[in-house]
Structure 1
Amino acid sequence: MAVNVAERSAMARALELATRGPRGANPQVGAVILSPEGAILAEGWHHGPGPPHAEVDALSKLAPGAARGATAVVTLEPCNHTGRTGPCAVALIEAGVARVVYALDDPGAVSGGGAERLRAAGVDVEAGEQAAAAHTLIDGWLTAQRLGRPHVTVKWAQSLDGRAAAADGTSQWITGPAARADVHRRRAAADAIAVGTGTVLADDPALTARDGDALLPHQPIPVIIGARATPSDAAVHRHPHPPLFFDTHDLHAVLADLHARGIQSLFVEGGPTLASAFVAAGLADRVLTYIAPVLLGGDRLALTDIGVASIDHARRLVVDEWVPLGPDLLAIAHPADDADPQTEGAR
C-alpha cells in the first residue's frame, strides 16, 4: 500500500518534531499518530536517554484504546529491544496500531528488526518515506553506529585556483558575507568544531556559531588538535563551552575520544594541514568547499599532501549539491564508492 498524502505530510511533521530532541548518544526521532481518516491524533519525539522513545511519547498522550486502527508515522524504524525503555515495536502492537510508516531502517544489531516484528504481528509496514531527509537529520548518529566515531565534515574556503590564502598568509576574506553566514549555520548544526593549533596561533578564531554579532542558540564544542600550546588569552577560551585539547596527531584517537563523549558530528575547519590530514586518513565523510571567484596564485594551497601519488589514486568525490551563495559557490560532496553510479568508469 503506497504512502498517502496525509502520511507524507505527517512524516514532514515528524522530521520537524525530531529536531526538538537533543543530539547525543541517541538519535533524534519524531512520531505522529494518525487516525484511520488521516487526522493527527498525537505527536511525540525522543527527549534523550531515559525518557520514552518518540512513538511511546506520542502514544502516552492518547487515552487507552484511542490508537486502535491508527497509523504511526516515525522517522526511524521502531526499536525492537529493551534498554532503558521497552521495545517501541511492542508498544505499537499492544496499542492496536494497524499501520506503521517509517523513513529509515534502524542500523543497530540489537535495536533493529522492529519492522519484522510488526509485520509478524499483522501490522502493515511501509519503509523509506522521506529517507533522504531523515538521513540528513541523523547522519552523525548513523555514522557513529556504523563506524564507532563521529560523522566528520571537512570544510575549507578557496580561490578559484585552489588557494586558501594570499602569498603573505592573509585569508580574510576570500568568500563573501553569504558564504560566511552559511558556514556559521553549519557550525551550529555540528556537535563540535575542530581546528589545528596552527590556525589558533595564526588567526585566533573564536570557533563560535554566530548570526552577525549574536551567538546562535546551539554552539559547537571547540576542539584544538596539535602539540603547540594555545595562549591563555586566545579567543577560544571565551567560548561558551570549555575547549577540548588534543596533543596528538592521531586523528583516530581524537575521534574515539569525542565519540566516547557522545559527540556525533565534527565540523573540521582548521586550515590546510588539518583538513588534509583528515582527508588523507579517509576520515572525511562530507566535504564542503566554498569557492570564491578570485585568483591568488602562489603556493598557499587549500589542501596539501593527501597521499595521492598518481591520478589512479585520486580521492574521487560525488557532488551532492552545488549551492550559489552570492558571488561564491559551495560544493557539497562525499567520498565516492563503488555504489555511486557517478563513479562508473572513473577508476
Structure 2
Amino acid sequence: MRRAIALAASPGVPLHPNPRVGCVLLAGDGTVVGEGFHHGAGTPHAEVEALAMAGDRARGATAVVTLEPCNHTGRTGPCAEALIAAGVDRVIAAQRDPNPQASGGLETLRAAGIETDAGLLADEAAELNRAWTFAHRHGRPFVTWKFATTLDGRSAASDGSSRWVSSLPARRDTHVLRGLCDTMLVGTTTVEVDDPHLTVRGEDDQPLGVQPLRVVMGKRELPAGRRVFDDAAETVHLRTRDPELALRTLYAEHDRHHVFLEGGPTLAAAFLKAGLVDEVITYIAPMLLGNGTSAVGPLGIGSIDDALRLEIVDTTVVGKGTEANVRLVLRPVQQED
C-alpha cells in the first residue's frame, strides 16, 4: 500500500478535478506483476494501467489500491468491472470513495465473488486528496483563506495603499499555493479597488500551468475592463453575498474542490462567521503601520473568551533579511479536519 501511495503522489499528476490514485498488483507469492497510477482526467485509471502491465498475470492476483475502485462510467469505464474481467482474487483498498457518483465498487467486487478489504493506511491515502475528499464528504469545497498582514494586523495603510505588505519572496510563494487550488475567490470590492489578475504566475510573472477558476462573489456590477475578466483564465461572477450558497454552487455546478480565498476583510469575515474557513495561511511582514485597514472585518466577538482560536500547523520564514516574511499555516480549533 505504501508503494501504491507513492505511485499516486508521482510528480506532475494534477491535483484536480480527479483524485490521485495508485495501484499495485501482487501475484500469489507476493511478486509485483503490475502497477500504475492515474495521470489525470481522461487518462486510464490506476487499476487499468496496472492491469495492462500485468496482462494474463493479473488472474488470481491481489490488487492493492489507494482508493476504492470506481463503480461508474465517466470518460473511462468502471474499474470494478475491469478488475472482475481480469480475474483478480482479492482487492485491498485504503480509502472508501466519498463520491456518491463513483462509490460502491467494493460491493460490486464482492457480488462477483472477489474478496475485499478496506481501511489499510486510509488516513495517508485520504491526505493525498485532502481537498477532494473534504469536498465530497461535505458537499462544498475546502476553503483556504490567505492574507498578508503587518505585525500590528494591518492589510493596508490608512491611505488605502496595500502594495506591497508582503515581500517579493512571499508573493512568489503565494503563487505556488494558488497552483494547489482549483478556485480563486474574491469579492467585488477587491476587483474594483485592486484590479487583481488572480492567475498563477512564475518568477517571470507569466501565467504558469493550468489556471484555477477565477470567481468574483457579490451582487455589484463590475466594469468589463477589469483584469479578472480577460482571457487568461475562466471567470465566474456569483451574484450572492451568501458564502454557503457560493461554495455549494461551486461544488455542484462547477466541480470545484479547493477554494483559495483572497478577498478583503469584509469577505473574510463573512466566511469566518459562517464557519466556512478550513485553513488559514498568513504572511506576516516585519513592519508596523499603527493605523489602516484591519486584515479581517468585525466578527461579532466582544470577549476574549469568545475569540476564534487557531491552531498553528506550520511556520516557515520566506525570504531573507528585509525581504523575510513569516508564513503561518493555521486551522480553526473548532473546525472539522
- TM-score normalised per structure 2: 0.83
Aligned equivalent of 2:151: 160
Aligned match of 1:258: 250
Q: 1:199-241 CA deviation, whole Å, 9 max, x = no partner?
A: 1122111111101222111211111122333223222222422
Are the counterparts in 2 of residues 55 and 88 from structure 1 also a CA contact under 8 Å?
A: yes
Structure 1: 5+ residue stretches without partners = 1-6, 341-347
Query: Which of 45, 55, 79 matches 2:38?
Result: 45
Aligned AA for 1:330?
R
The whole-number CA distance in structure 2 between the counterparts of 1:12 and 1:273 is 41
The alignment status of 1:184 with 2:184, answered yes or no, reads: no
What does residue 123 of structure 2 align with?
Answer: 131
Which residue does 2:333 correspond to in 1? 336
Percent of aligned pairs sharing the same letter? 42
Moved more, 189-198 or 291-300: 291-300
State the AA in 1 paired with 2:10.
E
> Paired residues, what number?
328
Asked if 2 retains the 8 angstrom alpha-carbon contact of 1:149 and 1:264, the reply is: yes
Q: In the alignment, which of 208, 211, 223 is matched to residue 216 of structure 1?
A: 208
* Corresponding residue number in structure 2 for 1:206: 197
Structure 1 length normalisation: TM-score? 0.81
Shift of 1:177: 2.3
**Which residue does the alignment assign to 1:278?**
271
Instruction: Pick the aligned partner of 2:296 from 297, 303, 318.
Output: 303
Paired with 2:37 and 2:228, the residues of 1 have a C-alpha distance of 37
Of 298, 306, 316, the match for 2:309: 316
Report the equivalent of 2:187: 196
1:215–1:47 Cα change, 3 Å: closer
Q: Are 2:20 and 1:23 equivalent residues in the alignment?
A: no
1:249 aligns to what SS in structure 2?
A: coil
Q: 1:231-260: CA deviations, max 9, x gaps?
A: 232222224223211232122222222221
Write the distance in 2 (CA, Å) between the matches of 1:196 and 1:310.
28
1:291 corresponds in structure 2 to: 284
TM-superposition CA deviations, 1:2-23 (whole Å, max 9, x none): xxxxx52342122227x63572
SS at match of 1:9: helix
